[in-house]
Amino acid sequence: MKEMNYWNPNDQTFWASRGKSVANQNLWISIPNLLIAFSVWQIWSILSLQLTDAGFPYTTEQVYSLTAIPALTGALVRVFYSIGVTYTGGKTWTVLSTLILLVPVVGISLALQNPETPYSIMALLAALCGFGGGNFASSMAAIGPFFPKSKQGSALGINGGLGNLGVSLAQFLIPLVITIPLFGQLGGPPQTIQTGNDTTELWLQNGALVWIIPIVLFALMAWFGMTNLPLEKPKLSEQLRVFRRKHMYLITILYIMSFGSFIGYSAAFPLLLRGEFPEINGIQLVFIGPLLGALGRPVGGYLADKIGGAKVSIIDIGFMIIGVIGVLIFISENFRSFLGFFLSFLLLFAAGGIANGSIFTMFPIIFGPSESPAAIGLASAIGAFGGFFIPQLFGWSIKNTGDVSSAFYVFVLYYLFCAAIIWIYYARDNAEVPIDSLRTSKPCD
């Protein structure tokens, strides 16, 4: 796409004549690039399940660490990604950050063909997958300036929500492609899995190889179809001022509640389902939860644009608490029910996704264009740690109490705390930053 010399989406004449078409084109190219990044980020959530059966001499703790390492890396790089994109431009950063994902997927495809691959190599490749998690911060920071303030909630919700579908895509697609010789001799030999008297052949490397063509294709789409906006490059010192703002830390707590819940539950849901209902083979259903969470995100952005992000977020926290209470009821001895447990978790995913979208609309209103990238980077970085800490909290609860109930009680208390923050600082009539009344006016100083 031809580079722009002028950009002001809040100019209604410019938006109608030129801005809207350019913004939408960049949005719809950004989405598949973000989706593939999330898929690469979640590769190990599926591939790690078969490593020991395939002959890799790793301990159980090491295998579980492979699923946690990408979350940690993704969290750490998000701050740098969100700031870096403001200097290179959205198009340039999208191309480079997508192509870099070829390194872990090619490396994993080779490493999985050799059971003697050292664990240190696998851990390094898992860490490199975390760069896919970093793409979220840069993608959201790049797409926001394309749209007028009144439409940013919906645009960011669509970008983030459909991008988050990469989690479900990975959990749905990888179990299918590893069962067939999808790439023939080019894909390498299968691994032999012994289960009792049954022998099965799996091509674990397909779980990485399947992403190579989409990565290259979507990077080319970004190169030829996206735009580097002619925006003033904010000084690093201006962006870092956000770290001295009280609201930076308040919004981070809220983002942990929304996105941290989404990515943490996505990682833990398969283990919880298997642990609570071992008699039911429901692993093929786990992708539905992250799917609803991802689809809920654009809904949250849209509703926030219509009725206000603070109102939507408080309502959704209420539904998240209902979901947690439902899970607690249906894993109890007297009311134990797989269907009730599953539906309660789906409510938790859907409500969390909507809250994720609505809370994200608060960033540009609170921080403005110069500070929003750094604010998004910090909040999304810390929120991504949910992919590590939520499964760890479940493990702690099982170890110390014998079940997962204690972890869910902690979540209820945390959600109530977040609802109180929204009400006190953002939702009530005399709030310090009345988000819903400011969404069509100037950002808060």
CATH number for 1-233 (one of 1.20.1250.20, 3.30.1370.60, 3.90.1640.10, 2.60.40.10): it is 1.20.1250.20
Tokens for 407?
């972890």
Rounded to whole angstroms, the Cα distance separating 407 from 130 reads 26
Q: Across-strand partners of 194? A: 199
pLDDT at residue 35, as a whole number: 96
Would you list the DSSP string of 288-332?
Answer: HHHHHHHHHHHHHHHHHHHH-HHHHHHHHHHHHHHHHHHHHHHTS
Contact 298, 158 (CB under 8 A): yes
Tell me the residue ranges of DSSP E strands in 196-240.
198-202
Same fold, 1-233 and 238-445: yes
Fill in the amino acid letter for 296.
G
CATH fold for domain 238-445: Growth Hormone; Chain: A; (1.20.1250)
- Domain residue spans of the chain: 1-233, 238-445
pTM, full prediction: 0.79
Give the number of other CB atoms < 10 A from CB of residue 61. Answer: 7
Q: What is the pLDDT along the chain (445 residues), one digit of tens a residue?
A: 556 678 889 888 999 998 899 999 999 999 999 999 999 998 988 888 788 888 888 887 787 778 778 888 988 888 788 878 888 889 999 999 999 999 999 999 999 999 999 999 999 999 999 999 889 888 988 898 899 877 877 788 788 878 888 988 998 999 889 989 988 888 889 888 876 677 888 899 999 999 999 999 999 999 999 999 876 666 666 666 777 888 888 998 998 898 888 888 887 787 788 778 878 877 778 889 989 988 888 888 889 888 888 899 999 999 999 999 999 999 998 899 999 999 999 999 999 999 988 888 888 788 876 677 778 777 877 877 777 788 778 878 877 888 889 989 999 999 999 999 999 998 888 888 887 776 655 444 4
Half-sphere exposure at residue 367, Cβ-oriented, CA atoms within 13 angstroms: 33
pLDDT at residue 439, as a whole number: 60
Which of 260, 200, 256, 181 is closest to 55 using CA atoms? 200
Give the number of other CB atoms < 10 A from CB of residue 185. Answer: 7
pLDDT at residue 109, as a whole number: 95
